[in-house]
Amino acid sequence: MPKKSFRQAVNEALRQEMERDPTVVVMGEDVAGGMGAPGEQDAWGGPLGVTKGLMPQFGRERVLDTPISESAFIGAAVGAAATGLRPVAELMFVDFMGVCFDQIFNQAAKFRYMFGGKATTPVVIRTMYGAGFRAASQHSQCLYNIFTHIPGLKVAIPSNAYEAKGLLIQAIRDDDPVMFFEHKAMYDEEAEVPDEPYAIPFGEANLVREGEDVTIVALGRMVNVARDAADRLEGEGISCTVVDLRTTSPLDRETVLETAAETGRVVVVDEAHPRCSVATDIAALIAQEAFESLEAPVRMVTAPHAPVPFSPALEDLYIPSADRIAEAVREVHGHGRR
Amino acid sequence: MQLSREDLLEAYRRMRLIREFEDAVHEEFAAGNIPGFVHLYAGEEASAVGMCMHLDDRDRIASTHRGHGHCIAKGCDPRAMMLEIFGKREGLCAGKGGSMHIADLEKGMMGANGIVGGGPPLICGAALAAKTLGTGGVAVAFVGDGGSNQGTTLESYNLAKVWNLPAIFVIEDNGYAESTASSWSVGGSQTGRAAGFGMPGVEVDGFDFFAVWEAAREAVERAREGGGPSLLHVRLGRYYGHFEGDACTYRAPDEVERLKAEKDPLMLFRRRVGEAGLLEPTDLDAIDREAREQIARAVSDAKAAGYPTEADLLTDVYASY
């Protein structure tokens, strides 16, 4: 099977869906680039080149560069979705949701319910998240938990290139508004990705590896960090299950609870801040529904309750590491054992 | 393009239906029969109807808190609307939206909106969809003078211009954003703002149906022909408070009475068609009677209808989940 980068996987998903369905359009800041400028067209193909090549193939009518006006164009994507298109809008960095959140959580998320089930809003909002780019406090946050909180939105957070293609195709074909999170530090990471289109259903977590001693629940880029930690712990005689949530809304409660019950020991890994987060959500779910099978307290490995720092020396401390995950796993593994 | 006799009767019928509807909602709210917040459109009828007479089902509108008039003007069923406002299961939105979120997408009515300035970005999207799909449709954002000061609205002017969208922004300036005068809160002018974004903008006497109809005709034709967005600054007046229960102490003591005596859009319409010999008073009296009966039936139906049940609480959050 061919190896492709996360960037290529997202690009391929967009291209194949645009070829399949003429109502799929892409819009955002510099998604082609060079609009109205004297030089090269498709100059950028998105700020990190993810949408490169779409405009030459599909034209400016379906690959729409926008002014830097997130309220207007995210709202336009929502309005177009409610009236016959399937827009994929790019909100460059999720940190920018502060200037367009209304259009996502008051408009897109609520149309179907408020209008008595008569609205369908198949919009996808792709956005970059995550630390590690030395991009500081306003270009490095996760924030998927905020969207997960909102009924009416779906939230997908792929952990590698294979997942990215399948989950994005599902997002585009889905009839609900979907927030699609791409970790900016993963675009060059490669995985085996089939050439043909395929959709990964939402709400079905992936068992990345199966073990007997400790369950690690993770999402997004942290799935890979958790797997590294699990590989290391294998050498110490601790065998771990690693669960990739794939989507936080809908959430695969069954897989979380089953794998938690199997090992009785759980570590939740989340790159976001620790309060009111996916990590606390998973920990609460297990505490409520799997309490009897727990052998140890649920531990969370997260970023601290602090903005993302700029200095590499600080940012490296900020992001959850395989070392910290391994330490938490050892702790819950040892809990209650003699 | 001229208004036919049928057009005139239809325009008057819609305006009268709006007036009867709003007066009935006012009474029923005061009697404690309607839950929540309601914002009434009485006095502003010529704006919604003057614009929507040019629109059909392929055209989309987005509305404001004060949305009942836009709904009726765009062809929504007043009975289903009344049931919705009463919170009943058979309401236009199954009782889940209420006055501030009343919508009928099949009629191209994309919703009243609880967020001031919420509609213009959505209308850019509806206009983009119409353009991309080649439906020939246009999209109209009704915005209050309060909403005209939101960044979403100004961003939407720019997006509509640079994407050359078949979009129309109708600024309904009733003089007050809640209790704050638009003469104070709006910097510059609405038409000056339009000019600043490179789109045609005209000031319109919103008490005069014919003035709105004529200005709307130009804007709709321009949009349909690919000429891009336009703005209408419609000056009008509201008869009731910002919301029902508003004591309106910020208004001049005789302000509303003078509006009703001198500027009432229905009165002006009757006078105009009478003087021009276009319609007989008996034609209009018949419409008045029918509208009154229709709305009275809607109210009694709404009172008799059932509420949603617990089984409805969690339906229609998602298409699939």
Q: What is the CATH number of domain B5-303?
A: 3.40.50.970
Out of A139, A183, A273, A333, which one is annotated catalytic?
A139
Output the pLDDT for position A337. 81
Q: Which of B60, B92, B122 sits opposite A75 (nearest CB)?
A: B122
User: Which residues of chain B are within 8 Å of residue A62 when distances are taken between CB atoms?
Assistant: 132
Chain A residues closer than 8 Å to B118 by CB = 75, 102-103, 106-107
Of A67, A79, A110, nearest to B122 by CB-CB distance is A79
User: What is the pLDDT at residue B1?
Assistant: 59
ipTM score assigned to the predicted complex: 0.92
Q: Tell me the mean pLDDT in the region A236-259.
A: 98
Q: Do A82 and B105 touch (CB under 8 A)?
A: yes
Tell me the per-residue pLDDT of B14-39, one tens digit each, with 9 for 90 and over.
999 999 999 999 999 999 999 999 99
The confidence score (pLDDT) of residue A42 equals 93
Nearest CB partner across the interface for A116, out of B97, B114, B123: B97
Rounded distance between C-alpha atoms, residue A8 and residue A50, angstroms: 7
Rounded to the nearest angstrom, the minimum Cα separation between B164 and chain A is: 12
Q: Is the confidence at residue B168, as pLDDT, over 90?
A: yes
Mutating which of B132, B138, B157 best tests the A interface, going by the most A Cβ atoms within 10 A?
B132
The residue extents of the domains of chain B are 5-303
| Average pLDDT for A312-330 | 97
Closest among B59, B87, B71 to B21, alpha carbons compared: B71
Residue ranges of B 82-111 with Cβ closer than 8 A to chain A: 91-97, 101, 103-106, 110-111
Query: In chain A, which residues have their Cβ closer than 8 Å to the Cβ of B318?
Result: 112, 152, 154, 176
Average pLDDT of B168-178?
97
Q: Which residue on chain A is closest to B129 by alpha carbon?
A: A80
The beta-carbon neighbor of A76 closest among B97, B101, B159 is B159
Contacts of A175 in chain B (CB under 8 A): 319-320
Entry pTM: 0.95
The first and second tokens of residue B232, run together, are 């209408």
Kindly determine whether residue A114 and residue B115, on different chains, have CB atoms separated by under 8 Å: no
Contact state of B104 with A80 under an 8 Å Cβ cutoff: no
Beta bridge partners of A274: none
Examine the pLDDT at B2 and tell me if it is beyond 90.
no
pLDDT in tens, A155-197: 999 999 999 999 999 999 999 999 999 999 999 999 999 999 9
State the average pLDDT for chain B: 97
Contact A87 B125 (CB under 8 A): yes
Q: Tell me whether residues B317 and A151 touch, CB distance under 8 A.
A: yes
Asked if the Cβ–Cβ distance from B121 to A72 is below 8 Å, we say yes
Average pLDDT of the segment spanning A115-125: 97
pLDDT at res. B161 = 98
Model pLDDT for residues B284-318, shown as the tens digit of each residue: 999 999 999 999 999 999 999 999 999 999 999 99
- The answer for B 49-88 residues in CB contact with A (under 8 A) is 60, 62
Distance from the Cα of A232 to chain B's closest Cα (Å) equals 37
Q: What is the DSSP letter of A310?
A: S
The full set of domains in chain A, from first to last, is 3-192 (3.40.50.970), 206-334 (3.40.50.920)
Residue B273's nearest CA partner among B257, B287, B261 is: B287
Cβ distance B159 to A69 less than 8 Å, yes or no, reads yes
Q: Which amino acid, one-letter code, is at B196?
A: G
Q: Of all residues in chain A, what percent carry a pLDDT higher than 70?
A: 100
Size of interface A-B (CB pairs under 8 A): 161
State yes or no: pLDDT of B8 exceeds 90.
yes
3-state secondary structure (DSSP) of residue B95: coil
Q: What is the pLDDT of residue A336?
A: 85
Smallest Cβ–Cβ distance between B123 and the set A79, A112, A119 belongs to A79
Residue A325's pLDDT band (boundaries 50, 70, 90)?
Answer: very high
Cβ contacts of B67 on chain A, cutoff 8 Å: none
To which residue do tokens 């400028």 refer? A37
The pLDDT of residue A79 is: 98
User: What is the share, in percent, of chain A residues with pLDDT greater than 90?
Assistant: 99
Q: In the block, which residue shows the tokens 């987005």? A: B62
For residue A168, give both structure tokens.
């994005």
Q: Which helix (H) or strand (E) holds B223?
A: helix B209-224
The DSSP line for A24-61 is EEEEETTSS--TT-SS-SSSSSSTTSTTTTHHHHH-TT
Q: What are φ and ψ of residue A173, in 5° steps?
A: -80, -15
CA proximity to A326, closest of A255, A235, A232: A232
Per residue in B261-272, pLDDT (tens digit) is 999 999 999 999
Is there a cis peptide before residue A250, judged by omega within 30 degrees of 0? yes
A333 is catalytic: no
Cβ contacts of A224 within 8 Å, gap of 6 or more: A159, A160, A189
Going by C-alpha positions, the residue among B113, B212, B137 that lies closest to residue B170 is B212
Chain A residue numbers with beta carbons less than 8 Å from the beta carbon of B139 are: 79
State which H helix or E strand residue B152 sits in: helix B151-162
Report the residue of chain A nearest B135, measured CA to CA: A84
Percentage helix, strand, coil for chain B under 3-state DSSP, each rounded to 5: 50, 10, 40
pLDDT for A329 beyond 70:
yes
DSSP-based three-state secondary structure for A191: strand
Q: Is there a contact between A75 and B124 if contact means CB atoms under 8 Å apart?
A: yes
Residue B91 carries which side chain, given as an amino acid letter?
G
Q: What is the predicted pLDDT for the residue at A338?
A: 67
pLDDT of residue B114 exceeding 90, the answer is: yes
